[in-house]
């Protein structure tokens, strides 16, 4: 049986073991996938210990994605562009890093039949999650991609790293004269029941609002978006399943079906 895990802190409520176990059942793969709670200063040691125990690969979540990048002997282009690693593979004494968050988001948006080409897209937030989705979104050729962050300098730093004439940084206040076809909340504000302080004018009756956070109840951001008359609201549970499917594919060379696993996960979330 091949060993996999997810490293994080906190990690207790991670849905990844359930998702990967379902993928393994569905594809006939013999794997064991567990959570590993890691002390904030002990990430490298935890990874090396897991490799010594025979680990074949791992996911990495908050707050270790940037540290994971530093630990790798080799990284994919998308991990380099994201500046963060969420998928590690341990191959021939080498640590290989990738980032599947961006492809996971795009896959989920496509599952919802959301077109991105020529659309005006707003990303709120400029942390690791936002970094990971910029390049995959740019590939889909939106007419405009704006990154707005509470701390403007972080959004500006991301824009400076990309060579795109359609990509702009903005403060929250400067958004008041603009509206968007798709708004992606890539902040962690919903986890604390808080709303990013963006002007309501960004939402029209044609706007789709996506929150990368998922919870048992509708997130405060999606509640607010609904009140402003958004056309459609979507949480990040589908992204979670899709990014996991891509990690599974990297490790096992077989792409699992995601729709049934997402239904099961949604039911589990509601019942908890
Ligand atoms: P980071 O800690 O790297 O970044 C947090 C971001 O949220 C920063 O831009 C920060 O702004 C902003 N922020 C936090 N609180 C507030 C607030 N009250 N008002 C406005 N902005 C706020 O986190 P990540 O980027 O790694 O993750 C962001 C979220 O995305 C997390 O909740 C995570 O769970 C989720 N996520 C979901 C995935 C999925 O598969 N569904 C995958 C990856 C992440 P500032 O810079 O000003 O501090």
Interacting residues of 162 by C-beta distance below 8 A, sequence separation 6+: 134, 135, 138
CA neighbours closer than 13 Å in the CB half-sphere of residue 13 = 9
Which secondary-structure segment (H or E) carries 221? helix 220-227
* Two structure tokens written together for 98: 């990738």
CA of 191 to the centre of ligand 1 (A): 9
CA of 128 to the centre of ligand 1 (A): 7
Distance, CA of 226 to CA of 205 (rounded, Å): 10
* Ligand 1 closest atom vs CA 243: 40
Out of 64, 129, 244, mutate this one to test ligand 1's pocket (max ligand atoms within 8 Å of CB): namely: 129
CA end-to-end distance (rounded Å), the chain? 30
- This prediction has a pTM of 0.96
Distance, CA of 250 to CA of 254 (rounded, Å): 8
Question: Can 65 be counted among the known catalytic residues?
Answer: yes
Per-residue pLDDT of the chain (272 residues; tens, 9 = 90+): 999 999 999 999 899 999 999 999 999 999 999 999 999 999 999 999 999 999 999 999 989 999 999 999 999 999 999 999 999 999 999 999 999 999 999 999 999 999 999 999 999 999 889 999 999 999 999 999 999 999 999 999 999 999 999 999 999 999 999 999 999 999 999 999 999 999 999 999 999 999 999 999 999 999 999 999 999 999 999 999 999 999 999 999 999 999 999 999 999 988 87
* Ligand 1 closest atom vs CA 188: 32
Distance, CA of 231 to CA of 237 (rounded, Å): 19
Bridge partners, 36 (sequence order): 7
Bridge partners, 184 (sequence order): 123, 210
């Amino acid at each position: 049986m091949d060993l996999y895990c997810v490293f994080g802190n906190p990690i207790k409520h991670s849905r990844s073991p359930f998702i990967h176990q379902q993928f393994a059942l569905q594809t006939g793969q013999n794997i064991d996938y567990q959570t590993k709670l890691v002390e904030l200063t002990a990430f490298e040691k935890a990874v090396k210990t897991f490799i010594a125990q025979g680990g074949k690969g791992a996911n990495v979540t908050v707050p270790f994605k940037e540290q994971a990048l530093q630990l790798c002997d080799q990284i994919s282009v998308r991990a380099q562009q994201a500046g963060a690693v969420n998928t590690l593979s341990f191959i021939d004494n080498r640590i290989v890093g990738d980032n599947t968050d961006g492809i996971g988001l795009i896959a989920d948006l496509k599952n919802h039949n959301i077109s991105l080409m020529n659309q005006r897209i707003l990303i709120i937030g400029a942390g690791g999650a936002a970094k990971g989705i910029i390049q995959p979104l740019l590939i889909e050729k939106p007419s405009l991609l704006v990154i707005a962050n509470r701390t403007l300098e972080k959004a500006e730093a991301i824009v400076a790293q990309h060579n795109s004439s359609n990509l702009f940084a903005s403060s929250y206040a400067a958004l008041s004269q603009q509206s968007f076809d798709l708004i992606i909340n890539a902040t962690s504000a919903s986890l604390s029941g808080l709303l990013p302080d963006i002007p309501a004018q960004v939402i029209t009756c044609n706007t789709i609002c996506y929150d990368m956070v998922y919870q048992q109840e509708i997130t405060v951001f999606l509640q607010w978006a609904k009140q402003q008359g958004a056309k459609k609201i979507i949480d990040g549970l589908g992204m979670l399943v899709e990014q996991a499917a891509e990690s599974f594919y990297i490790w096992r060379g077989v792409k699992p079906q995601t729709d049934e696993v997402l239904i099961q996960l949604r039911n589990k979330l509601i019942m908890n």
